[in-house]
Amino acid sequence: MEELMAILFVSLLVMVPFFSGILMLAGKGRDSRILLPVWTATALLAGFMLVKGGAFHVVIGGLYGVELMFDTFSWTFVLMNGLVFIGVTLSVKKERLPFLACPLMAMLHGTANAVFISYDLFNIFICIDLIGILAFLFIRLGKRPRQIWSAVQYLIVGNVGMILYLVGCLYGYKATGSFSMETLPAIPSVAVYLLVIGLSVKGGVFLAGLWLPEAHGEAESAVSALLSGVIVKCGIAPLLRLAELSPVASEIVPVLAVASAIYGVSYAVFDKDIKKMLAYHTISQAGFILAVPGAGHLYAISHGLFKSWLFIAAGNLPSRDLESLKQDGIKAEFWLPLFLGALAISGMPLLGGFGAKSIIFGQLSGFPAFLMYIAAIGTAVSFAKIVFLPLSAGGDLKKALSLSGLFFLACLVFRDIAAGYFVVSYILKSLVIIGTGWAIYFLVTSRKSVHLPKGAESLEHIIGLLFIMLLFMIGVSGL
Amino acid sequence: MDIVFLARLLLLSVILIGLWGVLYKKNLIMKIIAMDIMNTGAISLFVLSSWQRSRAPVIADSTVKVATSDPVPQAVILTAIVVGFSVLALLVVYVMDLSRYFHTLDTDRIQERWKS
Amino acid sequence: MRIPFDIRKAYFAAAIVVAVFLAIIPDTELGREYNAFLIAAKAGIPNTVTAIYLENRLYDTMFEVMVFSISITGALYFLKKENKFQLHDSLFTDPATIIIFRGCAMLSFLSACALAAVGHLSPGGGFAAGVAFGTSMVIQSLISDRNHLSNYLSMERPEKLEKSSWIFILAISLLTFSEIIPPDGVWGNLLSGGWIPMLNILIAIKVGLGTWALSLGFLDHKWIF
Amino acid sequence: MTGHGLLVVGAVLLMPVMAFFTLREDHILHAIIGRGMLGIAAAIAYAFMGAPDVAVTEALMGAFLVTLLYVVVFSSGEEFRVGYVELPMIVSKEAEKLEGFAVDLLTEFGRKIKVKPNFVSFESRQALLEAVREGYMDMAIGPFVYPFDESDNYLTLPIIETRIFKKNGGEWIDLLSLMYGPENRTFDRASAEMEKGFYSVLLSEDAHDLKDILFSFMGDEENIAVPELKKKYFGVTK
């Protein structure tokens, strides 16, 4: 019975998007709204299974086959995948997308689902490689020379990371005779480090993910929304599983998470380019997601929603430069979505980010908690730049919340109510964090501008740093 | 010295030579070839691990029990070869497209343009 | 940023240390010598690598086919778009070269057919066959006039064939997952092992057409660097 | 060490050697040949290690890859892209043949640095300016006048002097467009002031090396091609 259910889920989550992608490719379809039923089916199925509860895992193909896992964790990510795709599709309907975009979206959807339900190290390797190729094509769709360069950089770094992951898989197989994730506790720690590094390249986590600001900042805004909303999660979801299952990884991943949160925020506070700033926040939010491996998926769904909303809202702006936006002001119809998104990511109650942050802070303690509070305040500081952008005259508030905006907003509000963290102490805490952040913004950062060095974001440095990190992990565990 | 250990050292050195190329070569095509060499090294490690000093995993008769190499790493690594090839083909197209805009394949010179 | 020499040396040194760590991990003896035996008995074909590739881990292979097809599609999309130059004449005109190349093309075409047909019985299989077919086509294109060649082969029908073989591969994968498999047949026969020979041929067609289209795309382009 | 073990070690030993020789080369063609040999060494090693399937795939894939890269290198030709909007004497198309001062100048320049110009026709000034800014075109020639067309998005390199007619509203037209272009009927010459300007070549920011070479080509005192061309088209030598 479970086998049959699994086949049904695989055909609905993976095969249907693939088939529709191939058919769109053959029929040269350009309208992404045709695919809305596919996304909706994913979201509805995931929502139903979340409400129903329960978990089971299945091996497809018998002996040495591929193991799939259907539990709350995977269904949460699948739900996020469906919701983000619905929102992005609703937002890009007016543009004429290039011909390749719609088939690629369908295939990306299917592959992301496959990553989230996979419980097999090698299957994750191949799915993430497919995700990498799709992202590579997506980044290039905008045609600017710089996008080609950032795509090439992305693929080279990602491929080196995947080679490390492959070697990690091999050592895992050698020790246990299986690729299933259940064997993770038994595999040697060096292999776990290789797996962690390989996944953190795709997940945009600290150091390994430094390709991210360039690629996400340069891509078209709808593409950036997909990159930050879904593609980054395809690295993070297996990483979370790894941290949950393997004791070695559960020590190393939270360290990476905190470093990632602090690093991303400290660059975002001083960046004047709105898309670059959002891209740096993807690094820092990856840290928030990974900080508590047991609850990361609950943060991930919120992050997927508000980050893709923010990227879409930022794409509508007349300029990317925050200084010039500050002088000219922005029209109300562009301002409102940005404002709400910025509040959500800062953790304002009723807007998605609050419940997620409360979950994370509820389970952290000690020094990591202190550092994460700093990162949360930093988030508020950097988003104060958006919150306090002046309104210019002549805007139309009615146009502000388009279909996609309403959709995202509804999801975020519902998400927060579902989290059930409306306790006075949590509300106070988050308000204090936001207040401190805004105070710092007015007192310090709005008056000073600091240029942090960005040398580490070049190709050779990222690749080299992968090995430095590996050595560091081996050294720490050896001591 | 154990043959498998010796072979493994040599194959890891293939990966290292590839890495050296990725780090030091300036030409993007050379970087891609170096990456391919790294990939070849990783693939060879899989094949080496499947080698149990016995024959190929093709069985003549399903009723006689014979010891063979482990077919599982070999089968999964076929997949990885294809993936490596696909990535490479796509990268070559992109890199050549890049050269159309910059008239150079030197990574330092391309990166110089956005040194803000 | 121009990278200081020293830092890259440090990166490389770190990589060497990591490699040493990877080399000294001891092997565990798990006794996997009889793996192949179990798999062959289940799939009903002698070549166990193909059995795993196309039956036990067909789920992976499905994604592999997706990776390959998508990257070929993307490459062709970006190759087609701009700067399409005139079809060039043949690159080689020397008669001796042409005869040798023609022989090579013939040989790799024949090996492609053989690999695809008996991939489940002997080493080989769909992907290898497809690549061999692609190689034979690119060699053929190097020695013959492309205008002349395109009279015989318009690219439209191959494109349809490629798409439909793609869909068939996915559909057969789905059937295999749900264990709807035709009977195994006689051990060692050309038609044995359920869907496996069929999948081999379909993958060979898919990969062969893809590599062929890719190499034609490359040939039609003038590169600048 | 058994005989078979020696064979395996020997075949595996070939791989790092080939990898080293591949990456030691700076010449791409040599590196590609090196990659081909690495593929063959790997296939031999796999065959000895009891993995004939992987060996076949690796050998065939290596062969195909090397052929493909070889094709890329073999069919590489150098060119730069010049967009033009027709303007008599500077660039004009007659009987499928381009001629004009700027065309001859750039052809001469291309001959000197052994890179061919590839001329692409554009309908309007705006479309061409857009293409230069985006980097699709390396250069633009036609009714582009220094200092009126100066912008941060591209460089202007003056090639020959002209006169510009400018109105109070900021509207302007160059001499040749006024004489031959379709605008000469709509432009009211009487109310315009005359100023000095230069017909120029616009260079994209992305045309990396090209702009330095072209600047030095134009500024070279010993270069007799430029004055000769000026004499041919405009009868002046300055």
Q: Does C132 touch chain B (CB under 8 A)?
A: no
- Cβ neighbours around C8 below 10 Å, total: 17
The reply to whether B105 touches chain C by the CB within 8 Å rule is yes
More confident call, C217 vs A438: A438
The closest alpha carbon to D13, from B11, C28, A250, belongs to B11
Q: Would you say residue B40 has pLDDT above 90?
A: yes
Q: How far is residue A141's CA from residue A215's CA, in Å, rounded to a whole number?
A: 12
> Where does the pLDDT of residue C149 fall: very low under 50, low under 70, confident under 90, or very high at 90 and above?
low
Among partner residues A4, A190, A460, which is closest to C21 by beta-carbon distance? A190
Q: What distance in Å separates residue C50's CA from the closest CA in chain D?
A: 8
Cα separation, C156 vs C158, in Å, equals 6
pTM of the shown model: 0.86
pLDDT classification of C148: cutoffs 50, 70, 90: low
The top-scoring range by mean pLDDT among A56-65, C212-221, D93-102, D192-201 is A56-65
Tens digit of each residue's pLDDT (9 = 90 or more) over A15-32: 999 999 999 888 877 777
Mean per-residue pLDDT over chain D, rounded = 78
Nearest CA of chain D to the CA of B84: how many Å? 10
User: Mind listing the pLDDT tens digit for each residue in A108-163?
Assistant: 999 999 999 999 999 999 999 999 999 989 888 877 778 888 889 889 999 999 99
D chain contacts of residue A144, beta-carbon cutoff 8 Å: 134-135
Chain A residue with CA closest to C181: the answer is A61
Whether C211 has its CB under 8 Å from any CB of chain D: the answer is yes
Per CB-CB distance under 8 Å, the chain B contacts of C225 are 96, 99, 103-105
Return the domain boundaries, chain B: 3-57+68-114
pLDDT, one tens digit per residue, over B2-18 is 888 999 999 999 999 99
Nearest CA-CA distance, residue A260 and chain C, Å: 21
Query: C71-104: per-residue pLDDT in tens?
Result: 999 988 888 655 444 445 556 677 888 888 889 8
Closest by CA to D65, choosing from B82, B70, A379, is: B82
* d(CA B114, nearest CA chain A) in Å: 9
Query: What Rg do the C-alpha atoms of chain A give, in angstroms?
Result: 21
Of C15, C37, C223, the CB nearest to B16: C15
pLDDT of residue C35: 74
Q: Least CA distance to C41: which residue of chain A? A: A63
pLDDT band at residue D156, thresholds of 50, 70 and 90?
confident
Confidence of residue C45 (pLDDT cuts 50, 70, 90): confident
D173 forms beta bridges with D165
ipTM of the complex: 0.90
pLDDT at C84: 46
Mean pLDDT (whole number) for D179-198 = 70
Q: Identify the residue among A139, A150, A155 best suited for mutation to test binding to B, counting B beta carbons within 10 A and taking the highest.
A: A155
Arithmetic mean of pLDDT, D119-136: 76
Q: Is the Cβ of A160 closer than 8 Å to some Cβ of chain B?
A: yes
pLDDT over threshold 70, residue D25: yes
Q: How confident is the model at residue A399 (pLDDT cuts 50, 70, 90)?
A: low
Asked if C74 and A470 come within 8 Å (Cβ–Cβ), the reply is no
Q: What is the pLDDT of residue A145?
A: 77
In C, residues 171-210, which contact D (CB 8 Å cutoff)?
none
pLDDT attached to residue C85: 45
Residue of C nearest to B73 (CA): C49
Inter-chain touch D64–C211, beta carbons under 8 Å: yes
B24: pLDDT strictly greater than 60: yes
CA distance B116 to chain D (A): 15
Is the predicted pLDDT of residue C4 greater than 70, yes or no?
Answer: no
Whether residue A393 is predicted with pLDDT greater than 80 in this model: the reply is no
Domain of C129?
7-220
Task: Judge whether residue A272 has pLDDT over 80.
Answer: yes
- What are the backbone dihedrals phi and psi of residue B53, each rounded to the nearest 5 degrees, phi first? 55, 45
**pLDDT band at residue D209 under the 50/70/90 scheme:** low
Which pLDDT score is estimated for D207? Answer: 62
- For the domain covering D79-234, report its CATH number: 3.40.190.10
* CA dist., res. A86 & res. A355, Å (int): 22
Give the percent of chain A with pLDDT over 90. Answer: 31
Q: What is the mean pLDDT of chain A?
A: 86
Confidence at residue A390, expressed as pLDDT on a 0 to 100 scale: 83
A157/B contact by beta carbon, under 8 A: no
Residue spans of alpha helices (H) in A347-420: 353-363, 366-387, 397-400, 403-419
Q: How far apart are CA C214 and CA C71, in angstroms?
A: 10
Residues of B in contact with C39 (CB under 8 A): 71
Specify the fold of B3-57+68-114: Helix Hairpins (1.10.287)
Cross-chain CB nearest to B59 (options C11, C48, C68): C48
d(CA D35, CA D19): 7
- Flag whether pLDDT at D118 surpasses 80: no
Task: Determine the residue of chain A that is closest to C69 in CA distance.
Answer: A22
The pLDDT-based confidence of A355 (bands split at 50, 70, 90) is confident
Query: What would the DSSP string read from start to end of C53-82?
Result: IIIITHHHHHHHHHHHHHHHHHHHHHHHSS
B43 Cα to chain C: minimum distance (Å): 15
- Sort A234 into a burial class: Cβ within 10 Å, 0-12 / 13-18 / 19+: buried
- Token pair for residue B16? 């290292």
Half-sphere exposure of A475 (CA within 13 A, CB side): 9
- Mean pLDDT within A391-419: 74
Q: Is C78 on the interface with A (CB under 8 A)?
A: yes
Nearest CA in chain B to D11: B7
Q: What is the pLDDT of residues A299-347, one digit of tens each?
A: 898 899 888 888 888 887 877 888 888 888 788 778 888 888 888 888 8
Domain residue ranges in chain D: 3-74, 79-234
Angle of helix A353-363 relative to helix A424-440, nearest 10 degrees, comes to: 100
